[in-house]
Amino acid sequence: MLIAKNNLQFIIEVAIIIHIGLILLFNLVGVSLSLVLFLGTIVTTLFAFLFTADTILLMLPLFTHQEFTHPFGPLAVLSWVTVLAASNLLSEAGIRSTSIKTLNFILFFVIAVAGGLMHRSFLLLWFLGGAIGYLIMSKSFKRTARITRKSIIGFISALIGGFALMESLAKILDMPVLSPLLRVTRLENYTIPSLKLVLTKTTLWGHVVGSCYWKSECLGGADGYITLPVTMIHKLGLPYHIFYGVLIYKKDYIDYMLPGIFAVAFDAGYFGLLFLLSWVLIVTITGFYVLRIYKEKRLNGFRRYLGREALLIGSLSAFLTQSIIGLFLFNRSFNSSALLTYILLSALVMAHSVSVKRRIT
């Protein structure tokens, strides 16, 4: 493997390795519906416990929380939507799955509360992921997943209620960190200066040399504003520009205050942003194309790919959700550890295209 010379090259190399690895794994391991349902339920339950424990640590003094919602939030969407899709596939086949759906909806609200208390942006990601997943399923399962006016009103009410609950808890517990309005205020105060920096200093391949935090050592691109997990780079001893320790606050002006498209443009240039958006489009089109093939096979009585269909619905839902939240709202939901998750979700979607090409004729 070629040794990456900077952050962006390292991201590309890791992405290629993960995509190739998952494609090979997908063609070697059987993905049955029962396996997907079992593992999905276990993983979703583990995420519920993990987020709950992390939120409890946030509330307790003298304890350190880990903020697992950023890297694992999209994976929770993946597992939850996959379980729901798998249970709907059982219902489509005439097999009762009421208990599974009941457990899954309980887990939905547990994760929503725990993750929402940890990060306000997670609540938006979680509900959007559920909505996208249900929308995809409504197109795939005509009998068991229907979108009605009642369900839309209920979804919107739950989302508004979630934010209202967090604002109330912030005032009752005197914990401003829980307040969604605080996040809005911070964005108002810091977004404009950050946006001005990005718009005036971004170039085709990165940014104006010397305009980033590193000043004279600024590379003009790949300066650490978009990275894989910083601890991973640090432990590997890679000589890249990284915002580590107290320097993380210097990165916040772009990482925390702006949508991902601006951070990507600043660190990878307009060309890098165009490449990323093109890849998102390719993954999305590929995912829906393969999903249509799975649906046609299922309707024709061919059930070999039911597990893959459920997994693809979950993967595509999580990928689209993280794309929307991370790239167009909160870069923190796309960057660092979350970027590794994003690459994994992309690979999970694209892996289906190779298996379909080889096995479905």
- Domain map of the chain by residue range? 7-181+258-359
Burial of 277 (0-12, 13-18, 19+ CB in 10 A): middle
Angle between helix 149-172 and helix 98-118 axes, rounded to 10 deg: 40
Cβ count within 10 A of residue 175: 14
CA pair distance 15, 289, nearest whole angstrom: 22
Cβ count within 10 A of residue 340: 18
Amino acid identity of residue 61, one-letter, is P
pTM above 0.85, yes or no: yes
Both tokens assigned to 164: 């209202």
CA pair distance 124, 61, nearest whole angstrom: 27
> Residue 210: left if φ>0, alpha if ψ -120 to 50, beta else—which one?
left
Buried b / exposed e over 141-159, threshold 16 CB at 10 Å, is beebbeeeeeeeeeeeeeb
CA pair distance 165, 145, nearest whole angstrom: 29
Find out whether 294 and 305 touch, Cβ atoms under 8 Å.
Answer: yes
CA pair distance 166, 176, nearest whole angstrom: 10
Both tokens assigned to 114: 């725990």
Tens digits of pLDDT across the chain (361 residues) = 467 889 999 999 999 999 999 999 988 888 899 999 999 999 999 999 999 998 888 777 777 777 788 889 999 999 999 999 999 898 877 788 788 889 999 999 999 988 888 877 888 899 999 999 999 998 888 655 566 676 677 767 777 777 677 777 767 766 666 666 666 666 666 677 788 889 899 999 999 998 888 888 898 999 989 999 988 888 888 888 888 665 666 666 777 778 899 999 999 999 999 999 999 999 999 999 999 999 999 988 888 889 999 999 999 999 999 999 999 988 888 998 999 999 999 999 999 987 544 444 4
- β-strand partners of 207: 202
